[in-house]
Structure 1
């Protein structure tokens, strides 16, 4: 039995990678998609693809690091579909550096997107979910939220934060309010990230690591599984990684 039909799902970081593939997979199961990202052309293409396949979707340019913009996204979803059943906090930024690099700008950018962005999403949708007495918040985590690489201290810290906030939400909102909270923790995924690493040495290392990566479709399958559960079942954390990844 499917539990996703007619659910209104807000997805951040929906213009590419895991977000875009998850949006299509959820739409194929009858969910109504509200896609958010910072690239209009990619969002327009996503909506067109979903509608061509017979699904329902709308999109809005959104900066997750801006709390007011996230509130406007929630308002847009309600104006369009009347409710919000699911938030997928997916927008994320992964920038590798060593502590000795003192990469303060990169650290702050990851904090803005990976932490403030998720908090802004929760802040935007939670009042409505509390009124509805139902809802599901899925925060995209990472295996980096379970163990730390020597060149990913701040990125891992942001993902440990995601694990902690989601567990706290599960204990408060799930137990007392019936609002579910889940994480998906992917390992190495081929989303094109390795080619975007600026440092040549770092890019070579990232490309080597990316050789064992799995696809965004595999993670989207996990997203669908976590969300396609009856109201009395919560998938707390689902780790999905390449078979040959040793961490």
Structure 2
């Protein structure tokens, strides 16, 4: 039996890409998944797909940049299925731009989602996990949190941030309280992210980078591996990227 069987699992950024693939993969392993994102149409369609396959899923439209909304998401999950066993912190934005373009609006959007969004979701589920002395938090980072590429300075900074808070969580709430803490660091994944880059030069670089991308299902398998471990095992970091990616 999978260690994910009946695990109440919140997945943020679940409406598309890695989040959607992860939600389907974890549901297939027996988890009760609660999907969170801002696009209700996509969430509804994904829940229908999962439940029609005989699995358990629901959704709540959520903006994780809003602290109260993230807290309400955790409360919804608990009311629907029970205490949250697993958080997959996945909501994120990757927006390329050169420093000379001072794309401050893009910087702010990434900071709000990639930093504050992760912290808000952690704050929403951590008190209950600490009280129960059990639970699993998985933060989605990136190889950009290991190597800094051209045009990705602010995005990389947000992913270095994720790496730092994950290691701090592991030492503070993992070692001391038995809460499992994991991180998955994908490389170039074909999620449509390149189309979201508003800066013209950044979009050109993103499109070129995306040519060797691998599908989000590959990352979902890595997430499932990290989460499907007994309580005394923590997979702290999984780096997964295209074979042809040189960084």
Q: TM-score range by the shorter chain?
A: over 0.9
When the two structures are superposed, what TM-score results if normalisation uses the length of structure 2?
A: 0.98
The secondary structure found in structure 2 opposite 1:30 is coil
Which whole-Å CA distance do the structure 2 matches of 1:105 and 1:204 have between them?
19
2:41 is aligned to 41
CA distance in 1, matches of 2:119, 2:147: 22
2:145 is aligned with 1:145? yes
1:100 is displaced (CA, Å) by 1.4
Matched with 1:221 is 221
Between the two proteins, the alignment pairs up a number of residues equal to: 247
2:18 match: secondary structure: helix
Partners in 1 of 2:17 and 2:195 — Cα distance? 14
Distance 2:195 2:115 in 1: 24
Instruction: Determine helix, strand or coil for the equivalent of 2:172.
Output: helix
Q: Using the alignment, how far apart are the partners of 2:236 and 2:199 within structure 1?
A: 36
Shift of 1:132: 1.5
CA distance in structure 1 between the partners assigned to 2:33 and 2:62 by the alignment: 15
Q: Distance in 2 between matches of 1:93 and 1:199?
A: 14
Within the alignment, does 1:8 sit opposite 2:22 as a pair? no
Alpha-carbon distance, 1:204 to partner: 2.9
> d(CA) in 1 for partners of 2:197 and 2:99?
17
SS of equivalent to 1:92: coil
Give the aligned CA root-mean-square deviation in angstroms.
0.9
Within 2, Cα distance between the matches of 1:235 and 1:3? 14
Instruction: Provide the rounded CA distance (Å) in 2 between the counterparts of 1:174 and 1:221.
Output: 23
- Distance, in Å, in 2 between the alignment partners of 1:49 and 1:153 is 37
Q: Which structure 1 residue ranges, 4+ long, deviate > 2 Å from structure 2?
A: 195-205
Pairwise CA distance, 1:202: 3.0
Verify the 8 A CA contact 2:97 2:103 in the aligned structure 1: yes
1:169 counterpart residue number:
169
Q: What is the TM-score when the length of structure 1 is the normalising length? A: 0.98
Distance 1:107 1:94 in 2: 10
Instruction: Name structure 1 gaps, 5 residues minimum.
Output: none
Secondary structure, aligned partner of 1:149: coil
Q: 2:190 touches 2:213 (CA, 8 Å); kept in 1?
A: yes
Structure 1 residue 89 and structure 2 residue 92: aligned? no
Partner residue, 1:111: 111
Q: Report the Cα distance in structure 2 between the residues aligned to 1:25 and 1:198, rounded to whole angstroms.
A: 31
Query: What's 1:186 paired with?
Result: 186
- Give the Cα separation in 1 of the matches to 2:195 and 2:172: 40
SS in 2 for 1:208: helix
Counterparts of 1:158 and 1:196 in 2: how far apart (Å)?
17
Answering whether residue 58 of structure 2 is matched by residue 58 of structure 1, we say yes
Equivalents in 2 of 1:162, 1:102: separation in Å? 23
Q: Structure 1 residue 246: deviation in Å?
A: 0.5
Change beyond 3 A, Cα 1:204–1:98: closer
2:199, 2:75 → 1: CA distance?
40
Paired with 2:204 and 2:163, the residues of 1 have a C-alpha distance of: 30
